[in-house]
Amino acid sequence: METLMTRMLAAMLASFVLAANGAEIAGVKLDDRARVQGSELVLNGAGLRKRIIFDVYVIGLYLPDKKADASAVLALAGNKRVAIRMLRDVGADQFSSALTDGVRANHSDAEFRNLEPRLQELGATMAGLKEATKGMAITLDFAASQTQLVVDGKPVGRPIAGDDFYRALLRIWLGEKPVQDDLKKALLGQP
């Protein structure tokens, strides 16, 4: 019982520290707040994407209010941000292919077919970048029912319409079949 109480206290303290100071993961500092089209967002959680033995990127999820449940995040209205900081060079094709695979894994065939043209549009925009290089800051901002890709602080490509599209992107990390289980927990601020 004492161990459980100690762990609960440690988890509450860790979430308070995350909320008060942002986060630092693999040497990447994430601010505790972000602004998307005039809306103030808070860092909900952050984590490290690993692929086999490689650290690929640090990711943070910014929401209007903290949520610890994936379905609550997916249902949440308003502006949001997924902030990614690359820890290694990844070809744009490989990066967009990974996003597409994550969307496909979390949707039925019919849902995926509906999302596919917009995924291809995002992939074409990313292909124009050629590569997601180490240190690059990539954000997927959601505002006014549109997703905007932002690279190193500059919008890239045109906004992609649809709340369903942004929810599909979020499911890559928060869906029933997330790209990485411990990363899902980290983004939800869970120990």
In the chain, the domains with their CATH numbers are 2-187 (3.50.70.10)
- Looking at the whole model, is its pTM more than 0.75? yes
Name the strand (E) or helix (H) holding 141: strand 137-143
pLDDT band per the 50, 70, 90 thresholds, residue 191: confident
Q: What are phi and psi of 147, to 5 degrees?
A: -105, 130
- pLDDT over 50 (residue 12): no
Question: Where does the pLDDT of residue 7 fall: very low under 50, low under 70, confident under 90, or very high at 90 and above?
Answer: very low
Which residues, 6+ apart, have CB-to-CB distance to 189 below 8 Å? 15, 18, 44, 45, 66, 68
Closest C-alpha to 15, from 35, 45, 42, 40: 45
Average pLDDT, the chain: 91
Q: Are 56 and 81 in contact (CB under 8 A)?
A: no
Q: Does residue 182 surpass a pLDDT of 60?
A: yes
Closest CA to 171 of 94, 84, 106, 99: 106
What is the model's pLDDT at position 22? 84
Q: Which carries the bigger pLDDT value, residue 19 or residue 150?
A: 150
Rounded Cα distance between 180 and 174, Å, is 9
Task: Give 133-159 pLDDT, tens digit per residue.
Answer: 999 999 999 999 999 999 999 999 999
Question: How many angstroms separate the CA atoms of 18 and 23, rounded?
Answer: 6
Q: What is the pLDDT of residue 10?
A: 39
